[in-house]
């Protein structure tokens, strides 16, 4: 490639890479998810989160008490209040009553690890 072309070609390639990165802002690596999504899915069935929520990929999760968790990774805010990051989501799952007192989602007895795994699953939903 001629040196005259190399600059523009590199610029276009870098722009393409940057665009590919931005096209899916909600795609997170395993480390960024902060937990194990597969375990999270199993736990959400066990804890019957689906009694109150529609959750794609979770058996029997057709509840309509709370908002549908469809495409949750694309969501900007959790409960309209917390920025949607995996640690904030785990915090919400662990202590929703401390965050929005009196809302219909109960504090469920979970370990921080379990909440992080559930958050990791929800953060894979695009």
Contact residues toward ligand HEC (CB under 6 A) are 44, 47, 49, 51-53, 65-67, 69, 78-80, 89, 92-93, 100, 103-106, 108, 118, 122
Minimal distance in Å, beta carbon 86 to ligand HEC? Answer: 11
Beta bridge pairs of residue 19: none
Report the SS3 class of residue 62. strand
Question: In the structure, how many helices (H) and strands (E) does the chain have?
Answer: 6, 2
Tell which residue, 41, 78, 79, 77, has the closest CA to residue 61: 41
Nearer to ligand HEC, 23 or 65 (CB): 65
Q: Give me 64's structure tokens.
A: 């309509």
| Minimum CB distance to ligand HEC, residue 27 (Å) | 18
> In terms of CB distance, is 18 or 103 closer to ligand HEC?
103
Nearer to ligand HEC, 52 or 73 (CB): 52
Contact 107, 97 (CB under 8 A): yes
């Amino acid at each position: 490639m001629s040196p005259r072309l190399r600059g523009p070609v590199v610029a276009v390639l870098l722009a393409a890479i940057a665009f590919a990165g931005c096209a899916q802002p909600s795609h997170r690596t395993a480390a960024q998810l902060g937990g194990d999504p597969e375990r999270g899915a199993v736990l959400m069935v066990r804890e019957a989160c689906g009694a109150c929520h529609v959750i794609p990929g979770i058996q029997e999760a057709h509840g309509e008490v709370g908002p549908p968790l469809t495409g949750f990774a694309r969501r900007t805010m959790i409960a309209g209040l917390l920025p949607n990051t995996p640690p904030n989501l785990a915090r919400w799952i662990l202590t929703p009553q401390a965050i929005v007192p009196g809302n219909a989602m109960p504090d469920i007895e979970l370990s921080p690890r379990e909440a992080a795994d559930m958050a990791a699953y929800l953060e894979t939903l695009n």
